[in-house]
């Protein structure tokens, strides 16, 4: 029984560690996507503003 309990603990710790690292990667991806989207939006607004100035 002692071995089974230790295996379950190791398994639980491994799952928690993997989950936390996966969440970190997801968060980095969300930040990168948001940054790219904001940059594209800013570029589009600048382009629209230039078109309005020249008209």
Per-residue pLDDT of the chain (55 residues; tens, 9 = 90+): 577 888 888 999 988 888 877 777 788 888 899 999 999 999 999 999 888 887 6
CA distance 2 to 12: 15
Nearest to 12 by CA among 1, 23, 4: 4
How far apart are the C-alpha atoms of 30 and 24, rounded to whole Å?
A: 10
What global pTM score does this model have? 0.54
Question: Phi and psi at residue 13, in whole multiples of 5°?
Answer: -65, -40
Helices assigned H by DSSP within 1-55: 2-54
């Amino acid at each position: 029984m002692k071995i089974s309990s230790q295996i379950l603990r190791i398994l639980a710790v491994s799952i928690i560690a993997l989950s936390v690292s996966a969440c970190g990667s997801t968060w980095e991806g969300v930040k990168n996507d948001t940054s790219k989207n904001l940059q594209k939006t800013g570029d589009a607004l600048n382009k629209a503003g230039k078109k309005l100035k020249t008209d």
